[in-house]
Amino acid sequence: MKITLAQLNYLIGDFKGNAEKIKNTILQARDRGSDLVVFSELTVSGYPPLDLLERKEFVEQCLRTVEALAPWCHDIAAIIGSSSVNPAPEGKNLYNSAFLLYDGKVQDVIHKSLLPTYDIFDEYRHFEPNTEVHVVAVGGKKIALTICEDLWDEQPIEMEFGKSRLYTFSPMKELAPSKPDLIINIAASPFAYNRIGAKREVFTKKARDYGIPVFFVNQVGAQTELIFEGGSLVVNPRGEIVAELKRFEEDVRDFELEEVIRTAKVVSVSDPDDYIPEVHDAIVLGLKDYFGKTGFTDAVLGVSGGIDSAVSLVLAKEALGADHVHSLLLPSQFSTDHSVTDAEKLSRNLGVPYHIIPIKTAYSEFEKLLQPYFKDLPFDVTEENLQARIRAVLLMAFSNKFGYILLNTSNKSEAAVGYGTLYGDMAGGLSVLGDIYKSDVYKLARYINREEEVIPENILVKPPSAELSPGQKDSDTLPDYSLLDQILYQYIELQRPEKEIIEKGYEPEMVKKTIRLVNRNEYKRYQAPPILRISSKAFGAGRRLPLVASYDYEEKTDVL
């Protein structure tokens, strides 16, 4: 049996474009002699369609697309993902389904049983969980056809408060007595740099547990903040990875089932601990697809001579091309000369057009306007933020006039502790580094410079500073980023309580202050732009906390 895995990049709601891509892949696989071609989860609509699933006409178009694809499946079978209607008088309107097409029609439909409702997932909002499972037959082989989470009923756990088994029902345990010849899992599993190894372990363990090969087909491409890395897998019955499809690219590969079962070859896969190259490729794909799928072509960003804007500029140039990225250098009276020259050198290295627009005059005019009201009150954060907001006004003016998307360059460390100005340096249509801690931004810069100096060395070695007041440095108010980021990771990604973080050897007052800053700045993150997600817990849709709350997260022994 020859199986084709089709790892493709879809646009949500583009039924015509998605269907054409699926049809062409089916025909090409048939011409190569494949018996079965497998596509990813919710193929025809793109994933995740979110509340478009509440629109009757959207669901009807999904089903019409499935029906339109079926006649192309002669002399080959295809598995495609789509929503389908729940005919029962009660329950949710829809199922998340996998359709088996051959002989020109729909031959079987499998519905998803385990509906993730955590982090960025909210599938129970729309779909009814399936409770009855069965194998499907293709070419005399019995297939355990599962949809994403259906194979994730047991998964490695890192968080302090959680379970390794999220569900009481296991589709594969129910399918096992039917003695399937192989497992197929169609998925839309987003990238997270700290879950690369754990994701692979899900599929290798299932192959070992049941002694049958696993074919995993993942979506590739970005949908707003979510980035899907592809990396589809073929695993032999002994739990060894036989093949991994390209990461962050479309890929279509053919496999002979019998060869997969026999082979003992273990493919070389990327090292989960060496995650910076993966983060780099993920962000470039996220930027490329955000612009390509929204129809925008050009980006503008403020380049300060600091590390964050430098890395953001490089990534934007790699994604869009030098002619489609525009940098504005907006120095104030507090900006150092080397910051301007560093930013100029970077822009020239990249071949990116840039303009220098000093804001000192504009800032002075605002001071004059406000002086009758501020009188002799001392210089403080108000005047610092004023500079950031003047810069945002100028950047947005370029965005409006020329149709550019303003890219936000703030990093995750800053977003976590509120080290940013609303309507100032937090402005933008898309956040490039909002899910990357500052210490990893430096690693990313070193990776960018691995072959030649793209980012000037002075940007990498000078102390981080917002340059909003004389001699200002980030270290004046924040711990060293290498230490701060460790505490933030424990608290945000692993969700460990204050007490346990302190017990790991971190200075108590530093932990308390960091947690207090994270909790008190939720209101800022509510107004941040969409953040390209590269971790298991990004700010945004995957981390929902009350904006108004009195819980201070400190350990309490007495309630009353």
The amino acid present at 433, given as its one-letter code, is L
For residue 557, the model assigns a pLDDT of 60
For residue 552, the model assigns a pLDDT of 65
DSSP per residue over 279-313, as a string?
Answer: HHHHHHHHHHHHHHHHT---EEEE--SSHHHHHHH
In the block, residue with structure tokens 């084709």: 4
Alpha-carbon torsion (4, 9, 15, 21), positive or negative: negative
DSSP per residue over 451-477, as a string?
Answer: SS--S-HHHHHSPP---SSTT--GGGT
Helical ranges in 176-253 per DSSP H: 196-210
What is the per-residue pLDDT across 388-397, written as a single tens digit (0 to 9) for each?
999 999 999 9
Residues whose CB is less than 8 angstroms from the CB of residue 53 and which lie 6 or more positions away in sequence, other chains included:
59, 83, 94, 126
Tokens of 21: 């891509």
For residue 554, the model assigns a pLDDT of 59
Where on the phi/psi map is residue 351: left (φ > 0), alpha (ψ -120 to 50), or beta?
left
In the block, residue with structure tokens 């389904």: 97
d(CA 235, CA 241): 4
d(CA 555, CA 560): 14
Helix (H) or strand (E) holding 230: none
Cα-to-chain-centroid distance, residue 254: 28
Return the active site residues.
Answer: 41, 112, 148
Contact between residue 65 and residue 49 where contact means Cβ atoms under 8 Å apart: no
Please state whether the peptide bond connecting residue 464 to the residue before it is cis, i.e. omega within 30 degrees of 0.
no
Cα-to-chain-centroid distance, residue 17: 23
Cα-based distances in Å from 143 to 31, 113, 411: 23, 16, 45
Strands 405-408 and 354-356, by their bridges, are: unpaired
d(CA 229, CA 191): 6
DSSP per residue over 130-186, as a string?
Answer: P-----EEETTEEEEEEEGGGG-SB----SSS--SB--S--HHHHHGGG--SEEEEE
Tokens of 177: 């007595």
d(CA 405, CA 396): 9
d(CA 463, CA 128): 53
d(CA 45, CA 65): 9
Number of Cβ within a 10 Å radius of residue 378: 7
For residue 149, the model assigns a pLDDT of 94
Helix (H) or strand (E) holding 220: strand 220-223
For residue 551, the model assigns a pLDDT of 67
Q: Which domains does the chain have, with CATH numbers?
A: 2-274 (3.60.110.10), 278-476 (3.40.50.620)
What is the per-residue pLDDT across 351-383, written as a single tens digit (0 to 9) for each?
999 999 999 999 999 999 999 999 999 999 999
Where on the phi/psi map is residue 148: left (φ > 0), alpha (ψ -120 to 50), or beta?
left
End-to-end alpha carbon distance in the chain: 68
Contact between residue 297 and residue 279 where contact means Cβ atoms under 8 Å apart: no
Most distant pair of Cα atoms in the chain: their distance: 86
Burial 87-126 (b: 16+ CB within 10 A, else e): eeeeebebbbbbbbbbeeebbbebbbbbbbeebbbbbeeb
Give helix 438-448 / helix 307-320 axis angle, nearest 10°.
50
Residues of the chain with pLDDT under 50: none
Strands 226-229 and 233-235, by their bridges, are: unpaired
Burial 305-340 (b: 16+ CB within 10 A, else e): bbbbbbbbbbbbbbbbeeebbbbbbbbbebbeeebb
> CA angle 391-396-397, nearest 5°?
100
